[in-house]
Structure 1
Amino acid sequence: MRFLVATDFSEASDKALMSAVNLATLTNSEIVLLHIFEVSEIDKSAKKIIGSGFLNREIKNRLEQMVSEIEKNKSIKISYLTKEGELFDTMKNAVEETSSDILFIGTHGVHGVQHITGSFLAKTINMVDVPVWVVQKGSEICNFKNIYIYIDELFDNPVNPIIIDIAKKFNSSIHFNFTDSTSGFATKELISKIQSTLENSGINYTLSSLNGEDDMIKAFTQKATNTDSSLIILDRNQNEISTFIDVFNNKKCVEVLCLN
């Protein structure tokens, strides 16, 4: 697999890179670091005077240092890519250009300007055509002993190969949480699919219901974040991504993978 990691050299994006390295080490995956220059009119004027090479040199030096440091300590393939343009379109194009399988992004979570963070996350997830792995700057990089999945009638595939691969690599237990929006028949179909897929996989799993909860998303988030070494998995097809912003920005800083 190939992971694209967006970086602006912030603490949050550094933590996203650490998470990508953690997963890449286990899955023998490649990492591409992406830095996007959002060019302003001032930048354009400056480039006419001193040239773009001078303005970009410091950024490229920092990226080269990051690549060198990881290559020195980890046996994974890593490179970097710089792009200029509008943030979201450029990120989408970079995902396609690099044929990446997962996009890693860092977020400041509940700190800072939360509504801007939420808007950024929602737009990023909706723009790209690959799963998005969200890491808060307060996240602790760990082996995911527990994977929590929120399942409603819009969840496309609760036994997505990515989920199975992560669970096997980290020896994780998967906890499937069903909402009351899934009909009895649909729930039985999903449970049958889960059981048939995991029966001989060696993966431990549980099935539970969120029925009766006044706020199922809140109840799910509390359950998922009260367990050590967790990973939360959502599906982009589930309602509006904006309804899950509190999940992405959970106070325990649990990492979230949003499938597409």
Structure 2
Amino acid sequence: MSVILVPFDFTEVANCAVDHAANIAKDLEIPVVLLHIINKDTRELLNVYKVTNELVNEKLQEKVDEFSNKYGVPFEYEAREGSIFSDIAEASEDHNAFLVVMGTHGRHGIQNLFGSYARRVITSSKIPFIVVQKRLYRPYKKIVTPLDDTLESRQKIKWAIYVSKLFDATIHLKVRSDKIDPIYPVKIRTILSKVEQLFKANDVKYIVDYKEDEDTGSKKFAEQVIEYAHSIDADLILIMTDPDHVNMFNFILKPEDEIMLFNDYEIPVMAINPRDLNFTYVGF
């Protein structure tokens, strides 16, 4: 049976991640697993304050009971010693996780797990991540998906179809404009036409935001996406790690994706890694 995995360290943002995970799990009728990782620094701190493993487990069980009663969803926990950079990915495979929901303090967070190192955790796993800040859950009905002429964007459309079905959502395509490259408008129009055909064939609700002669000034595309998402009060932004840049250990998040991941409006972001999708859809 699949589960939703939540890296949990008893912080406010971890509780927010639990709120998102529990509501998703309720709709999907699957349990949530709290994963508490004790790394070297944490172990040293626990030793200083004479906190035993038994006490850690007791506190985690209290949270499991609290969240189970609050959300009406089965909760479990696992405490393991190791590294956040490898053990979250390993635990997601061990538990057959469908999704990881992780809280973050943002790009410059105080704690390693929920700060700028979050991107390393995300790219070490093949499992999709939803990254949240302090905004509590609300149904993911408006999902913004950036689109340009890259391979990454085209692969992401498969996921957009899947996610739209999963959450019964409307996909809001934010399409990058380019006033400098004379060939780009032709390319993006062709891509957009194919995407719309796929959405229609798969009964996906969608809205397109594309202005060929849009004056974006000095704003990066990621910043445009964030502002657009904020303007429509989006519930989720969908991004993808770069399929053109994969090393032997993990996938890569581009700098623009990191801007979206840690956006100032605290809009949750779903980060997906390139992999095959085990569901049926029309096209591709």
TM value normalised by structure 2: 0.76
Higher normalized contact order (CA 8 Å, seq sep 6+, divided by chain length): 1
Query: Would you tell me which structure has more helix in proportion to its own residues?
Result: 1
Equivalent position to 1:255, from 268, 276, 280 = 268
Residue 249 of structure 2: aligned partner: none
Matches within 5 A, 1:1-260: 1-40=2-41, 43=44, 55-109=52-106, 112=109, 119-137=116-134, 139-152=135-148, 153=150, 154-161=152-159, 163-168=160-165, 170-180=167-177, 183=184, 184-185=186-187, 188-189=190-191, 191-199=193-201, 201=203, 203-209=204-210, 212=214, 213=216, 214=218, 215-237=220-242, 240-260=253-273
- Equivalenced residue count is 252
C-alpha deviation, 1:155, in angstroms: 2.3
Do 1:159 and 1:194's aligned partners in 2 also have CA atoms closer than 8 Å? no
SS in 1 for 2:52: helix
Q: Distance in 2 between matches of 1:210 and 1:61?
A: 56
Is 18-27 or 148-157 further displaced after alignment? 148-157
- CA displacement 1:194-239 (0-9 Å, x = unmatched): 43344452x4201233654342111111011222252101011177
- In structure 2, distance between residues paired with 1:38 and 1:133: 23
RMSD: 3.2
Deviations 1:163-207 (A, max 9, x none): 445434544221112225895446524542443344452x42012
Report the identity percentage: 23
CA contact 1:125–1:236 (8 Å) conserved in 2: no
Q: Is the CA contact 1:142–1:229 (under 8 Å) kept in the aligned structure 2? A: no
Taking the aligned partners of 1:66 and 1:86, their CA distance within structure 2 comes to: 22
CA–CA distance in structure 2, aligned partners of residues 42 and 61 of structure 1: 17
1:13/1:92 Cα in 2 relative to 1: closer, same or farther (>3 Å)?
same
In structure 1, give the amino acid aligned to 2:66: E
Alpha carbons of 1:194 and 1:96: their partners in 2 closer, same or farther (altered >3 Å)?
Answer: farther
Q: Given that residues 156 and 239 in structure 2 are in contact (C-alpha distance below 8 angstroms), is that contact kept between their aligned partners in structure 1? A: no
1 CA distance for matches of 2:242 and 2:144? 17
* Cα drift, residue 100 of structure 1: 1.2
Q: TM-score, normalised by structure 1?
A: 0.82
